[in-house]
Structure 1
């Protein structure tokens, strides 16, 4: 395996990581901004108010996106195993 192939595998792994984690991160960001806006509008300064809605939203998103995430990780693993079997 050459250096270029190793870099290709690493780049593919990084892109797979971004594809798998992006939905959860985006939902967490949106929920956090909405709750921060709600806190600013109502002047409620409770620090723990953000955690429960954000955890629930991320958990629901994870349940909904689990087939997509599994398919992405499985596809990456198949590509890596194919590279190992073919030797390059």
Structure 2
């Protein structure tokens, strides 16, 4: 296996990880920004106010996008395992 093949595999792995985690990270970031704006407007500086909505968002996003995330990861792993003979 050459360096170009290794770089291609690492690039595909990083792209797949970004694709899988994008919905979770984006929605948690949006909720965090909205909670921060709410805290600034109301001048409430309670730590649990910023933590609980993010935690609820993570749970909801994982329930909604979890099957798609798992299916994508399993498909990627299956493709990678099936392509092992090409790299030898």
Same fold (TM over 0.5): yes
The count of aligned residue pairs is 87
CA contact (8 A) 1:12 1:76 kept: no
* Deviation readout 1:26-78 (Å, 9 max, x if unpaired): 11101101111111111111122111111001110011001210121112101
Which runs of at least 4 in structure 1 moved beyond 2 Å after TM superposition? none
Structure 2: gaps spanning 5 or more residues? none
Structure 1: gaps spanning 5 or more residues? none
RMSD, matched Cα: 1.1
TM-score by length of 2: 0.91
Corresponding residue of 1:60: 60
DSSP 3-state at the match of 1:20: helix
Corresponding residue of 2:76: 76
Give distance in 2, aligned partners of 1:82 and 1:8: 16
Give distance in 1, aligned partners of 2:80 and 2:37: 44
TM-score by length of 1: 0.91
